[in-house]
Amino acid sequence: MFLIQINQVSKRYENGFQALHATTLTINSGEFTVILGPSGAGKSTLLRMLNGLETPSNGEIWIGDRQLTAKSRRSIRAKVGMVFQQFNLVGRLNVMTNVLTGRLHHRSWWESLLYLFPKKDYDIAHWALARVDLTEKAWNRASRLSGGQQQRVAIARALAQQPAVILADEPVASLDPVTSEEIMELLLEICKNDGVTVIASLHQVELAMRFADRIIGIKQGQVVFDGTPTELVTEQSTLQIIYRREDGGTDEDPNLEVAVVHS
Ligand SMILES: Nc1ncnc2c1ncn2[C@@H]1O[C@H](COP(=O)(O)OP(=O)(O)OP(=O)(O)O)[C@@H](O)[C@H]1O
Ligand SMILES: [Mg+2]
């Protein structure tokens, strides 16, 4: 069953830069999709359009049976959780309040202004915090937590939205390798156990190979690969294409990373 349809979507920024060329993709419900590509490939541009944070220059985006438009954006966004590289928590607020802000999508503007939350929202926030195993940090200031813990709070905030999909833009780019694994595990678990479709952008081939059901490789605003991790390994040339720099070098050594995966 498809959840998201991207039909001929492109993005040209106001300064004339074409960040995404016409792209057509279908994302299936319950799948863990990784958008893989080097810096500047257009990963954030694509994810931000799926959440209505950027408007496509052309094309259509459908979430379920609803088209994403200026009018539908607010109610669609309520069902789309976002996780960012820099966590984007409010550092001076406690963990619980940060998680509760995930409920704001379901509240009126004046309730949000006053940070007024009904008991139901607290129950959901408690559940979300338990889900990421941070119940004991509920009343700590968010800024006091470690990076990995802060990202778990951000995931709990997304979960508190009771989303159909979580978009994670480089969720582990600011974390050490061990913590990165934990966060990827958590996202995978949420995808498989809670039935939340996850689309995460990454630039590490190795993590994409380990966690993704499907990898969409993009480079310079174009999809250059779309398949399973196994297909990516058998298409070594594709990895070269994704990571080959214009000057002939590579941004990373994908062969080396793939070798590590299989050793
Ligand atoms: N608001 C903007 N105006 C003009 N150009 C932009 C804007 N935002 C992004 N770009 C350009 O679009 C291209 C794609 O950017 P994007 O942020 O989507 O890449 P990315 O794959 O997420 O990169 P990274 O891995 O560094 O986060 C880049 O060349 C970037 O400089
Ligand atoms: Mg980005």
If DSSP states are collapsed to H, E and C, what string results for 6-35? Answer: EEEEEEECCCCCEEEEEEEEEEECCCEEEE
> Which residue, by CA, sits nearest to atom 16 of ligand 1?
42
Give the span between the Cα atoms of 103 and 78, in whole angstroms. Answer: 8
Edge to edge, what strands does the sheet with 197-202 contain? 80-84, 165-169, 197-202, 32-36, 214-219, 222-227
For residues 210-217, give the mean pLDDT.
96
DSSP state of 204: -
For residues 149-162, give the mean pLDDT.
97
Q: How far is CA 40 from CA 15, 35, 82, 87, 94, in A?
A: 15, 13, 20, 20, 34
Q: How far is CA 36 from CA 87, 143, 163, 202, in A?
A: 20, 30, 23, 5
* 35, 45, 86, best to mutate for ligand 1 pocket (most atoms within 8 Å of CB): 45
Q: Which of 161, 205, 210 is nearest to 182 (CA)?
A: 210
The residue with greater pLDDT, 258 or 211, is: 211
CB count, 10 Å around CB of 87? Answer: 23
pLDDT at 261 over 50: no
Edge to edge, what strands does the sheet with 58-63 contain? 18-28, 2-12, 58-63, 66-67
Compute the Cα dihedral for 72, 76, 78, 80 and give only its sign: negative
Quickly list H helices, the chain.
43-50, 73-77, 95-100, 109-113, 119-131, 147-160, 177-194, 205-211, 229-234, 236-243, 254-262
Nearest atom of ligand 1 to the alpha carbon of 20: 14
Ligand 1 surroundings by CB, under 6 angstroms: 13, 15, 17, 19, 37, 39-45, 170, 203
Per-residue model confidence as pLDDT tens digits over 60-96 = 999 999 999 999 998 999 999 999 999 999 999 999 9
Compute the Cα dihedral for 198, 199, 202, 205 and give only its sign: positive
CB under 8 Å to 187, separation ≥6 — which residues?
32, 83, 155, 166, 168, 171, 198, 200, 211
pLDDT at 114 over 80: no
**pLDDT averaged over every residue in the chain:** 89
pLDDT at 263: 33
* 17, 54, 172, 218, best to mutate for ligand 1 pocket (most atoms within 8 Å of CB): 17
**Ligand 2 center from residue 222 Cα (angstroms):** 15
DSSP state of 251: S
Q: Please indicate, yes or no, whether the overall pTM of this predicted structure exceeds 0.85.
A: yes
pLDDT at 228 over 60: yes
Angle, CA 234 vertex, CA 231 and CA 240 arms, to 5°? 100
pLDDT at 115: 67
pLDDT at 55: 96
Per-residue model confidence as pLDDT tens digits over 238-249 = 777 777 765 555
pLDDT at 117: 81
For residues 170-190, give the mean pLDDT.
96
pLDDT at 259 over 70: no
pLDDT at 257: 44
The residue with greater pLDDT, 252 or 116, is: 116
In the chain, the percentage of residues whose pLDDT exceeds 90 is 78
pLDDT at 149: 97
Listed range (91-105, 140-154, 158-172) with the worst mean pLDDT: 91-105
**Would you call 246 helix, strand, or coil by DSSP?**
coil
